[in-house]
Every structure is written in structure tokens, then in C-alpha cells.
Amino acid sequence: MSYLELGYQVFNNVISDNCRESAKNEVNRIRNLFRQDNQLLSDYVIPLSELPDHRNPGADQQAIEEEPYLIGEPVELSTTFATLIMNPSLWDIASSILGDDDVVYHFSNVTRKPAKNGPSLSWHRDFPNQYICPEHSDSFFRLLLPLEGMQESNGCTQVIANSHTLSDELAIREHKKRSLDINQHEQSISLELKPGQAVAIHPKLIHGGQVNRSELDRNLMVIQFGLPTHHWLYHEKPCMLTGLNHREILEMLDANFNQPRRQTKKTHKATISKLNTC
Ligand SMILES: O=C(O)CCC(=O)C(=O)O
């Protein structure tokens, strides 16, 4: 069964082991840099310690103090991530899910559940979201790409199958009422993925996840793709690549990473050059 029927679809052999390992090393490098100087990365990193206590019961408070939970726009921090999102297999998946060759990048992040202290994630839909959200749910989706195997024990993403079939209007009304039924937990499906696999999630599919108290990290690359549109419910301050297609991103990366003084956003210039020379 496919994306439209179930609300999610798993893809095999999406990225190579090399690419995954490089991305994992970069996550560790960014993590270490954040621990040394969290001001340098404060535009990009949300630490675990900022999450509400109920999401991480019993976590070691000292360990989570300077531990990144979310690394926003890793593509602006590291050429490894910029290279990763340019992988043609990701764009092929985006085209097949959205039913069009003309697809654009919205944003990405790495959502982390570090070994022993990884937090849970409340049930939610990505439509509507208050970050980058087109007016219609059928014009975007998120691709979840784990950087290591993800199982129930290390806090894999969980979904409520078929919960995406309501209308956009109803999804917006439910979001306003905050009325997601948490008993749906009993019907959840754990998306256990092997290294190299990825899963496309429908924006209206309810998803969440449990804490990670295992010895294994779980680092999940989340990438939102969409169809070109001018109709938005929300559109936060975009990343420098937001709204660009594959060719335009290549041009932008060439301009920014090869000649950073010419076009890189002023606020990010120092960070990018520091990270790239580490
Ligand atoms: O961290 C996860 O398991 C899923 C991430 C997620 O829910 C999202 O990006 O919408």
C-alpha cells in the first residue's frame, strides 16, 4: 500500500552508508561545537534542556544541559548536509510523492534523541504547522531519514495509520482546538527503519514517539519538500534555500560555499565559515 492510502511510505536504499556516516560525524561535530560555545550556534540549535519536563521524564539534567535536541537548517552549517539534501534519490521521492517534477525545498533539521536521554514527541500533524506551511496539505510532505537504524527502543517515529484522511479544514479546526485524542496511542505503528531507508509522511498523518532510554542514539534528518506556491498558511523567516528547486540550490550553494563573501546571509556568514574550517 502506498503513501496516499496509509499516510506514509517507506523507501529503501535512499542514501549510502558513507553519506550517512559523514552526516553522523557532522552531527557530532556540531554537537561538540555547541557544547564549547552555544552562543555561536544559538540561531540553529534548540537544546534538550529547553523542552518541557513531561517530554523527558527522568532524564539526566546535567547531561541534557548542553545537548542539542534540534539542529535547524544543518545545510547552512555544513556542506555535508548541503550535499546530502542534493542527493537525487531524495528529489525523485519528492517528485513521486507530490506527483510533479517541479518540487522545491522548504527546510530541514536534525531531530535528535540521544542515547539514554532522548525525549518523547507529542502526537501532532505537520498540517497545519506554524513554520512553513502551504495553504493545501497536498502540496508538501516531510521525508524522515534516520542517520542510524531506528527502532522502538531508541525512540523511532510512530504513526497512526490512516489518520491523514480528514479534510484540510477539519485538520485546521482540530489543531485550533488541540483536540488530538491521545488514546490513539494504542493504534500506533512504530516506523522501524534500517540504515539507508527513509519514510515519507503525509502532512495530516498523526505522528509522535517515545523517549529513548537505550544505549543507541537516534538522529533523524527531517526534510520538507513542496510544490512551488505563493499560497501559505504560515511562512516563517526562510532559510537561504527555502523555495528553491534542485538546480537553483546548486547555483546558490556554488555562490555561497565557494565564494562565501558574495551572497551568504550576513548573520550566518561567521558561523558557516567557522564551521567549514573546523
Ligand atoms: O522526531 C521524530 O520522530 C519525528 C519528527 C517530526 O515529527 C516532525 O518533524 O514533524
Pocket test residue of 70, 111, 125 for ligand 1, highest count of atoms within 8 A of CB: 111
CATH for the 3-246 domain, from 3.40.50.620, 3.40.120.10, 2.60.120.620, 3.30.300.30: 2.60.120.620
* Residue minimizing CA distance to atom 4 of ligand 1: 157
Q: Is 220 in the pocket of ligand 1 (CB under 6 A)?
A: yes
Q: Is 67 close to ligand 1, i.e. is its CB under 6 Å away? A: no
Ligand 1 site-directed mutation target among 51, 129, 157, 188, most atoms within 8 Å of CB: 157
* pLDDT for residue 254: 83
Ligand 1 close to Cβ of residue 126 (< 6 A): yes
CA of 150 to the centre of ligand 1 (A): 13
Q: Which residues contact 99 (CB under 8 A, 6 or more apart)?
A: none
Q: Quick one: pLDDT at residue 2?
A: 87
Domain ranges of the chain: 3-246
pLDDT tens track, the chain, 278 positions: 689 999 999 999 999 999 999 999 999 999 999 999 988 899 999 999 999 999 999 999 988 988 999 999 999 999 999 999 999 999 999 999 999 999 999 999 999 999 999 999 999 999 999 999 999 999 999 999 999 999 999 999 999 988 999 999 999 999 988 766 556 556 899 999 999 999 999 999 999 999 999 999 999 999 999 999 999 999 987 788 999 999 999 998 888 766 544 434 444 444 443 443 32
pLDDT of residue 119: 97
Q: 10 Å Cβ neighbour count for 185?
A: 13
- The Cα 114–Cα 68 span in angstroms is 9
Give residue 275's pLDDT: 40
157 within ligand 1 shell (Cβ under 6 A): yes
Residue type, 260: P
Residue 268 CA, ligand 1 centroid: distance in Å? 25
> Ligand 1: which of 150, 201, 224 to mutate, judged by most atoms within 8 Å of the beta carbon?
201
Enter the C-alpha cell of residue 14: 535512499
**Which ligand 1 atom is nearest residue 207's CA?**
7
Binding site membership of 207 for ligand 1 (Cβ less than 6 Å): yes
Atom 9 (ligand 1) nearest CA: 222
